[in-house]
């Protein structure tokens, strides 16, 4: 009897071998020496993951229980391979041209890249496949336990072994399934390991079969006799079940995520399908050849109640054939592990691409796509998804407690996965199929599948018996296994019939009633007419008419002359004299590279793809395009910043220029003003001095009058010149400020008395002395000059009958303001902004200065760091002097 330890050693050795093969295949592929890895044989063998442990062990059990019905499981895929290979070819072509990464991706691409649909398919797949993974784990454990039972000295812990098997498979899938992201990059390591496992399981099953027929039964004749004698030969065939299960297995063969992975995603060359179309049915035939003999002999040999699911193991063991049993164990182990690894890989791609990444992207916002760490996040997401899926399978196994409940899961899973079929096939052949239709069909099918098959079939009393018998709330027509009161059907047939027919009905009706979006239309056309559009399995190809379009596009990107030169060179190289080059794959690839230099590789690929139609834009393309456009955007925004800087400089120059012109105009105006102001007093001085000189006999009184005028005018002249001098000193910034400490009240007091001195009827000044007790540190003379000017203005211009001036000091948070408000009629609002200009006077007739006073005030306050402004809204004229903050000296 083989000890458990030997078995574990063999098993570990086998795993190491698998790792080695996968590793070597990956290395070969990386080195570019992968020709034989891409052979049709490997492709065909990799398809054999269809045969899981459920088929390896289960087919014999199935035959022992239900006779020939097990054949349906092989019949479905055979029919698909032989009878529908053109459909598969279309699937593979689309998969390649659209760079599809999973079945969820395919469905979502077909229906306008809808992520909702992808999520639906992903969820359906996870729910359908998780129990199936659990089933594989169970089969490994069961086969271990067979050896453990036969080896009494062993210490075998079922729970621990499942855990380690699951963990090991997760590590394998992560190591070889998530090396890179590129949809074009095949997982050579995994596929080669799977192909090796396919050989092992076939050899194992054939060996057991040959042993049973020739070693136990004694040849073909006696075996046939045994079959005739057994119950299996007599079993009635239920036609409904036959048809249903054949159909189901056919549907599952196309729709199972793991099958899609090896058949479409991992496909290297469309022509491999041609080989697989006959070789894979042959493989299935060999796999099923000895199922019945093993079942019959097992039933004969082994005691009543022995689990027929394990006959493949127990028959050799019972005959003392330890080596054979070990081989058989490896066959079952291979079936289970290859399925689990590929399924976990396929599901993880779906989960990460359609659930994890969209959530991550939306939580990160746009910046994430630009920053370029997407790739590593995607890889992490896939790895974590694999671990999570394996954990789900493991926990499902632990929770369901294994046992018979799991055995029925295979078909239940098939029925669930088959719900994808209407959306898939409809999408391939019917342009009118829409996203809403697909969603409706999937939802209806999924709900019915869960209700009529999954919940009743899953065991563990998930669905109460009362609901099964009387329907929910006693509604008989809603009984899960007799919908609409159609009772008496086999539960499987019933569930498949209702779920798929209503699924199809919902799909068709909703498609007809809904309106496809533009992208859906486009994708629909690309899918349905893939053979007209696409460029074949490898590279680009186009028609001569497309050269014209390519030329036009290239001219726009490369520039007219460069594009023409490039095209001419290519024509010459192709051996032509003139005209355009043929759009051969070589030419198109070069053009893509040439354009890629200008617009980025992804964008170039997408652009050429748009014209020759060989490939449409995948998510990876879009990410890459987004990446590139982000770079372009950054570059152009830098350019934009530069150009706006330039235009700002230009604007500043223009402003400076206008200012200069204005200043020059002002200077002219100023000069003419000054000469005018000077001439007026000069004229009267000259006139009166002439009178005094030339007029004889002038009376004394007149002499006094005239000389007073001359004196006054001379004074005015002096004042004017003083003011002008003052202003020019202030404006040129050559003033020296003599800052000193002093009291604001005192400055005001001095200013009032100076301003009003000499007036016969000085105006009344109102003040709040208490507010004026503020110590300043400033040029007090200059400040006083401003105050004097304002007070004198009020004296000169206030037109009230009883002129009055109120001086108020405010202190708002350390900001000192002195307001001068009189009770005259004030300054009209249109003149308010202008009075601070030089020579600005509101009314010329009024006796007054040359209009320089306020201009000087403004200059002084500016020098002191404060300002003076007109306060509109008061009744009379109102001015506010704002002292700078630091003017206030510390007490
Ligand atoms: P000036 O030095 O000739 O007095 P200002 O620059 O001080 O000139 O004042 C400009 C003009 O503002 C004056 O011609 C006058 O019309 C007007 N103005 C100034 N203060 C007052 C006031 N308190 N009431 C009415 N008008 C005033």
pLDDT exceeds cutoff 90 at 593: no
Report the separation in Å between the CA atom of 765 and the middle of ligand 1, taken as the mean of its atom positions: 18
Is 777:740 a contact under the CB 8 Å cutoff?
A: yes
**820 CA closest ligand 1 atom index:** 23
- Which string of DSSP letters, residue by residue, matches 788-854? HHHHHHHHHH---SS-EEEEEEEEETTEEEEEEEESS----HHHHTTTTSTT--S-SSSS---S-HH
Chain segment 703-756, per-residue pLDDT in tens: 899 899 999 889 888 888 888 888 888 888 888 888 889 999 999 999 999 999
Q: Give the residue-averaged pLDDT of 454-481.
A: 70
Is 818:809 a contact under the CB 8 Å cutoff?
A: yes
d(CA 344, CA 258): 8
pLDDT exceeds cutoff 90 at 787: yes
* Residue that has been written with the tokens 């486009």 in this structure: 522
- Supply the pLDDT for residue 445: 92
Q: Give the residue-averaged pLDDT of 845-851.
A: 66
- Supply the pLDDT for residue 844: 58
Q: How confident is the model at residue 631 (pLDDT cuts 50, 70, 90)?
A: low
**822 CA closest ligand 1 atom index:** 23
**798 CA closest ligand 1 atom index:** 24
Is 741:775 a contact under the CB 8 Å cutoff?
A: yes
CA 407, 411, 416, 420 torsion-angle sign: positive
- Supply the pLDDT for residue 817: 92
Using CA atoms, how far residue 721 sits from 369, 725, 855, in Å, is 73, 6, 15
Higher pLDDT, 621 or 649: 649
- Supply the pLDDT for residue 536: 40
- Supply the pLDDT for residue 534: 46
pLDDT exceeds cutoff 90 at 605: no
pTM: 0.59
Using CA atoms, how far residue 579 sits from 33, 387, 551, 592, 611, in Å, is 39, 58, 11, 20, 19
Report the separation in Å between the CA atom of 840 and the middle of ligand 1, taken as the mean of its atom positions: 8
Instruction: Output 549-558 pairs: Cβ under 8 A, ≥24 positions apart.
Output: 549/611, 550/583, 550/588, 550/591, 550/608, 550/611, 550/612, 551/580, 553/607, 553/611, 554/591, 554/594, 554/595, 557/595, 557/598, 557/599, 558/594, 558/595, 558/598
Which of these ranges, 85-89, 220-224, 230-234, 342-346, has the smallest mean pLDDT?
230-234
Is 84:247 a contact under the CB 8 Å cutoff?
A: no
Q: Which of 854, 857, 870, 881 to mutate to test the pocket of ligand 1 (most atoms within 8 A of CB)?
A: 854
Q: Give the residue-averaged pLDDT of 790-817.
A: 91
pLDDT exceeds cutoff 70 at 133: yes
Backbone φ and ψ of 271, nearest 5°: -65, -20
- Supply the pLDDT for residue 748: 94
Q: How confident is the model at residue 846 (pLDDT cuts 50, 70, 90)?
A: low
* CB neighbourhood size of 369 (10 A): 16
d(CA 347, CA 382): 9
Is 131:409 a contact under the CB 8 Å cutoff?
A: yes
Backbone φ and ψ of 372, nearest 5°: 85, 5
Higher pLDDT, 654 or 662: 654
Is 824:877 a contact under the CB 8 Å cutoff?
A: yes
Task: Report which listed range, 96-110, 226-240, 693-707, is most confident.
Answer: 693-707
Counts of helices then strands in the chain (DSSP H, E)? 40, 9
Q: Which of 730, 841, 859, 875 to mutate to test the pocket of ligand 1 (most atoms within 8 A of CB)?
A: 841
**789 CA closest ligand 1 atom index:** 7
- Supply the pLDDT for residue 369: 46
Q: What is the DSSP letter of 582?
A: P
Is 150:1 a contact under the CB 8 Å cutoff?
A: yes
Give Cβ neighbours of residue 713 (< 8 Å, ≥ 6 apart): 681, 682, 684, 685, 688
Backbone φ and ψ of 714, nearest 5°: -65, -40
Q: Which of 674, 792, 807, 851 to mutate to test the pocket of ligand 1 (most atoms within 8 A of CB)?
A: 851
Q: How confident is the model at residue 370 (pLDDT cuts 50, 70, 90)?
A: very low
Q: How many residues does the chain have?
A: 891
**855 CA closest ligand 1 atom index:** 6
Buried b (16+ CB within 10 A) or exposed e, 814-836: eebbbbbbbbbebbeeeebeebb
Report the separation in Å between the CA atom of 425 and the middle of ligand 1, taken as the mean of its atom positions: 93
Ligand 1: residue whose CA is nearest its atom 20? 793
**844 CA closest ligand 1 atom index:** 14
- Which string of DSSP letters, residue by residue, matches 126-159? HHHHHHHHHHHHHHHHHHHHHHHHH-TT----HH
Secondary structure percentages of the chain, helix, strand, coil, to 5: 75, 5, 25
Q: Longest Cα pair distance anywhere in the chain, in angstroms?
A: 174
Give Cβ neighbours of residue 108 (< 8 Å, ≥ 6 apart): 114, 115, 117, 118, 121, 354
d(CA 594, CA 558): 8
pLDDT exceeds cutoff 80 at 612: no
Task: Give all domains of the chain, ordered by start, each with its CATH number.
Answer: 4-349 (1.20.1740), 409-535 (no CATH), 536-625 (no CATH), 638-732 (1.10.287.130), 740-889 (3.30.565.10)
Q: What is the mean pLDDT of the chain?
A: 81
pLDDT exceeds cutoff 90 at 784: yes
Ligand 1: residue whose CA is nearest its atom 4? 849
Task: Report which listed range, 22-36, 70-84, 615-629, is most confident.
Answer: 70-84
C-alpha of 245 from chain center: 41
Report the separation in Å between the CA atom of 826 and the middle of ligand 1, taken as the mean of its atom positions: 10
Chain segment 381-396, per-residue pLDDT in tens: 888 888 888 888 888 8
Q: Which of 721, 756, 765, 793 to mutate to test the pocket of ligand 1 (most atoms within 8 A of CB)?
A: 793
Is 52:132 a contact under the CB 8 Å cutoff?
A: yes
- Supply the pLDDT for residue 114: 75
- Supply the pLDDT for residue 858: 93
Q: Give the residue-averaged pLDDT of 59-68.
A: 80
Which of these ranges, 82-86, 428-432, 576-580, has the smallest mean pLDDT?
576-580
Within 6 Å (CB) of ligand 1, which residues are found? Answer: 789, 793-794, 797-798, 822, 824, 827, 835, 840-843, 848-855, 877
Q: What is the DSSP letter of 777?
A: E
- Supply the pLDDT for residue 139: 83
pLDDT exceeds cutoff 50 at 535: no
Give Cβ neighbours of residue 447 (< 8 Å, ≥ 6 apart): none
d(CA 264, CA 90): 10
pLDDT exceeds cutoff 90 at 649: yes
Buried b (16+ CB within 10 A) or exposed e, 426-439: bbbebeebbbbbbb
Higher pLDDT, 869 or 143: 869
Report the separation in Å between the CA atom of 567 and the middle of ligand 1, taken as the mean of its atom positions: 81
């Amino acid at each position: 009897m083989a000890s458990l330890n030997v078995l574990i050693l063999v098993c570990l050795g086998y795993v190491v071998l698998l790792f080695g093969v996968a590793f070597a295949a990956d290395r070969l592929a990386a080195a570019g020496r992968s020709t034989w890895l891409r052979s049709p044989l490997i492709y065909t063998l990799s398809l054999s993951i269809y045969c899981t442990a459920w088929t390896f062990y289960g087919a014999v059990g199935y035959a022992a229980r239900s006779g020939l019905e097990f054949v349906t499981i092989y019949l479905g895929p055979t029919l698909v391979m032989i009878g529908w290979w053109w459909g598969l070819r279309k699937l593979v072509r689309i998969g390649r041209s659209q760079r599809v990464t999973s079945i969820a991706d395919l469905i979502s691409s077909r229906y306008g890249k809808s992520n909702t649909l992808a999520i639906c398919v992903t969820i359906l797949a996870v729910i359908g496949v998780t129990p199936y993974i659990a089933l594989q784990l169970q089969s490994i454990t069961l086969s271990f336990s067979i050896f453990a039972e036969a080896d009494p000295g062993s210490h075998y812990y079922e729970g621990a072994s499942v855990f380690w098997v699951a963990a090991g498979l997760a590590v394998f899938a992560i190591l070889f399934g998530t090396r890179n992201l590129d949809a074009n990059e095949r997982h050579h390591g995994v596929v080669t390991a799977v192909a090796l496992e396919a050989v092992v399981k076939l050899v194992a099953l054939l060996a057991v079969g040959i042993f049973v027929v020739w070693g136990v039964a004694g040849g073909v004749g006696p075996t046939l006799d045994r079959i005739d004698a057994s119950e299996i030969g007599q079993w009635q065939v239920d036609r409904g079940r036959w048809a249903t299960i054949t159909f189901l297995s056919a549907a599952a063969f196309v729709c199972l995520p793991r099958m899609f992975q090896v058949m479409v995603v991992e496909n290297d060359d469309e022509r491999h399908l041609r080989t697989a179309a006959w070789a894979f049915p042959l493989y299935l035939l060999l796999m099923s050849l000895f199922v019945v003999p093993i079942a019959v002999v097992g039933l004969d040999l082994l005691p009543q109640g022995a689990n027929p699911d394990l006959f493949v193991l127990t028959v050799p063991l019972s005959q003392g054939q330890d080596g054979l049993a070990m081989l058989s164990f490896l066959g079952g182990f291979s079936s289970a592990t290859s399925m689990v690894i590929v399924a976990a890989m396929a599901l993880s791609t779906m989960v990460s691409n359609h659930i994890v990444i969209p959530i991550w992207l939306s939580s990160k916002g746009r910046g994430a796509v630009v920053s370029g760490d997407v790739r590593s996040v995607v890889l992490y997401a896939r790895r974590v998804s694999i671990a999570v899926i394996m954990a789900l399978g493991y926990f499902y196994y632990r929770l369901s407690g294994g046992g018979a409940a799991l055995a029925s899961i295979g078909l239940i899973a098939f029925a669930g996965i088959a719900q994808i079929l209407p959306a898939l096939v409809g999408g391939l052949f019917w342009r009118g199929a829409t996203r809403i239709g697909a969603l409706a069909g999937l939802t209806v099918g999924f709900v019915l599948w869960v209700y009529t098959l999954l919940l009743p079939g899953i065991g563990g009393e998930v669905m109460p018996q009362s609901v099964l018998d009387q329907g929910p709330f006693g509604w008989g027509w809603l009984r899960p296994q007799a919908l609409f009161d159609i009772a008496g059907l086999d539960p499987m047939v019933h569930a498949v019939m209702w779920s798929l027919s209503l699924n199809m009905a919902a799909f068709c009706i909703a498609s007809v009633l809904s309106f496809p979006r533009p992208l859906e239309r486009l994708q629909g056309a690309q899918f349905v007419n893939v053979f007209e559009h696409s460029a074949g399995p490898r590279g680009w190809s186009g028609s001569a008419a497309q050269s014209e379009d390519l030329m036009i596009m290239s001219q726009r990107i490369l520039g007219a002359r460069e594009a023409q030169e490039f095209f001419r060179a290519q024509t010459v190289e192709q051996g032509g004299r003139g005209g355009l080059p043929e759009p051969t794959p070589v030419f198109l690839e070069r053009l893509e590279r040439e354009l890629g230099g200008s617009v980025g590789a992804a964008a170039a690929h997408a652009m050429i793809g748009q014209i020759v139609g060989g490939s449409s834009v995948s998510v990876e393309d879009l990410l890459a395009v987004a990446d590139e456009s982000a770079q372009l955007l950054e570059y152009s925004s830098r350019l934009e910043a530069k150009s706006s800087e330039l235009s700002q400089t230009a604007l500043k120059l223009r402003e400076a220029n206008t200012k200069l012109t204005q200043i020059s105009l002002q200077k002219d105006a100023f000069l003419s003003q000054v000469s005018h102001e000077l001439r007026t007093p000069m004229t009267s001085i000259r006139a009166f001095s002439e009178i005094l000189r030339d007029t004889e006999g002038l009376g004394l009184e007149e002499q006094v009058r005239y000389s007073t005028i001359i004196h006054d005018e001379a004074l005015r002249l002096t004042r004017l010149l003083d003011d002008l001098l003052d202003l020019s000193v202030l404006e040129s910034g050559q003033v020296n400020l003599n800052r000193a400490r002093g009291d604001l009240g005192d400055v005001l007091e001095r200013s009032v008395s100076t301003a009003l001195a000499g007036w016969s009827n000085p105006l009344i000044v109102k003040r709040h002395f208490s507010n004026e007790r503020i110590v300043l540190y400033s040029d007090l003379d200059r400040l006083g000059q401003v105050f004097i000017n304002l007070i004198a203005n009020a004296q000169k211009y206030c037109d009230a009958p009883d002129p009055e001036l109120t001086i108020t000091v405010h202190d708002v948070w350390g900001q000192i303001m002195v307001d001068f408000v009189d009770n005259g009629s004030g300054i009209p609002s249109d003149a308010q902004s202008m009075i601070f200009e030089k020579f600005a006077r509101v009314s010329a007739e009024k006796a007054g200065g040359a209009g320089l006073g306020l201009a000087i005030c403004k200059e002084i306050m500016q020098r002191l760091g404060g300002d003076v402004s007109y306060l509109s809204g008061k009744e009379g004229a109102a001015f506010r002097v704002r002292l700078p903050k630091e003017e206030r000296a510390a007490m």
